[in-house]
Copies of this chain bind each other. A is one copy, B any other.
Amino acid sequence: MSWSSNEVHLASRPTGYPDAGTWSAVTVEVPEPGEGQFVVKVDHISLDPAMRGWLNDVRSYIPPVQIGEAMRAMCTGSVVASRHPDFAVGDAVAGTFGVVEYALSDGTGVTTIDLGVAAAPTWLGALGMTGMTAYFGLHDVGRIKAGETVLVSAAAGAVGSVVAQLAKAEGCRVIGIAGGPDKVAWLKEIGLDEAIDYKSENVLRRLREIAPKGIDVYFDNVGGDILDAALANLRRGARVVICGAVAGYNDETLAPGPKRYMSLLVFRATMTGFVVFDYEDRFPEAVAAISEMIADGRLVARETVIDGGVAAFPDALLGLYAGVNTGKLVLKV
C-alpha cells in the first residue's frame, strides 16, 4: 500500500514576491513505513513569515529549501501507519512535514500533541513554534519585568498577539501596533493598554504621546519605519528583540537598515536577534505555561484558518504578507 500525496514543491527561487513560477504542484507516492518509520496524514499547515527567507539561497540560521523539494512547513497531522516504537496509528503529531498531504517520518523533530488541550491549529499557533517564539523572545531575550512598558509590532499577528498577552500577564503595560481598525479593536478586546494603527496614525508621534518615558522592551516583527519609530522612543536600558522583519522579506534588494540605530547609544540600549530553535530543550516549559494561560482564559489563542488544501498554499502565503490574518494563519488540508 502507498499514499498519494499532493504537494507543493519549490520550482524556482523567486525575486520579490513568490509567484506562479515559484511553485510546482506535484503528486508523490508515499510508501509503507520501514522499520523505525511512520506515515503522517497532514491536517493543518502553518504559514509563517520566515518562509520567504527559506527560499533564498543564502547562509542563514537554517538551510534554504532546495529546488525540487517539498516546501518546508510546520504541520499537524495523525499517524496512519507506523513501524516506530514511539508513534502509534491514530496519534496526533506536530512536525516539519512540509506542504504535503502525507509524509514519511523517522520521528526527528516530531512531537505528539494533545488535542484535548487545544485544537490542531492552536498547536501550530500559541502552542507551536509561534508561541515558543513569543515566550522565549519576550522572557529570555527581552527579559521583561512587571511594570515595564512593552511595545510589539504586528501585534494582531501570530507571534505578536501571544507576545502582547504574555507581557500583560507578566504585569507590563503593553502597546501594540497593527494595521487597520479591526485588528486594533481586537487588540483592545484582548486587553492591550494601547493599540496604534500604523496605516492611519504616525507611529513615532503616537509613541511619544502614549509612552513619554519611552519603551523598555520592543519586540520587533516588522523592521522598517516602525523599528525606527521604536528606536526613537526607547527608555534608558531598553532591549530591542529582533524576531523578524516582514516589511522587507519580499524586497528584491536588502531593505534599508534602522537609520536610528544610534539610539542604542543614546539610550544605552541593546538590540538582539534570536532563533527559537535554540530553545528547543525548554519548549515543554513554554507549552505548559501557555496551556495553563489558555485554560484559565488569560490568553486568547486565535487562528485564521483557510480551508483550501495544499493547492491553496501559494495564495495563502501571499495573504500572510498582505496581513489578511488576525492571529495565526493556518491552512487546512
Could you list which residues of chain A lie within 8 angstroms of chain B, going by C-beta atoms? 59-61, 223, 228, 242-245, 254-275, 278
Q: Flag if A264 contacts B255 (CB, 8 Å).
A: no
Q: Are A271 and B268 in contact (CB under 8 A)?
A: no
Hey, which chain B residues are within 8 Å of A272, CB to CB? 264, 268-271
Q: CB < 8 Å: which of B242, B258, B266 contacts A265? A: B242
A212 CB to nearest B CB, Å: 12
> Are A265 and B274 in touch, CB under 8 angstroms?
yes
- B268 touching A274, Cβ below 8 Å: yes
Among A256, A261, A266, the most chain B Cβ lie within 10 Å of the Cβ of: A261
Q: Which residues of chain B are near A270, meaning CB under 8 Å?
A: 270-273
Where chain A touches its partner, the secondary structure class is loop
B259 contacts A254, C-beta separation under 8 Å: yes
**Contact status B262-A261, CB under 8 Å:** no
- The answer, among B245, B260, B263, for a CB contact under 8 Å with A262, is B245
A258 and B258: CB pair below 8 A?
Answer: yes
Query: A6 to chain B: closest CB distance in Å?
Result: 33
Whether B254 contacts A257 by the Cβ 8 Å rule is: no
A264 to chain B: closest residue by CB: B273
Query: A259-B257, A262-B245 are contacts. A273–B278 as well, Cβ < 8 Å?
Result: no
Q: Is the CB of B264 within 8 A of A242?
A: yes
- The smallest C-beta distance from A310 to any residue of chain B, in angstroms, reads 29
Measured between beta carbons, the chain B residues less than 8 angstroms from A267 are 273
**What separation, in Å, do the CA atoms of A228 and B264 have in the docked complex?**
16
Measured CA separation A243–B278 after assembly (Å): 29
Chain B residues near A273 (CB-CB < 8 A): 262-270
Which residues of the other chain, B, contact A257 by a CB distance below 8 angstroms? 228, 256-261
Bound CA–CA A261/B266 (angstroms): 18
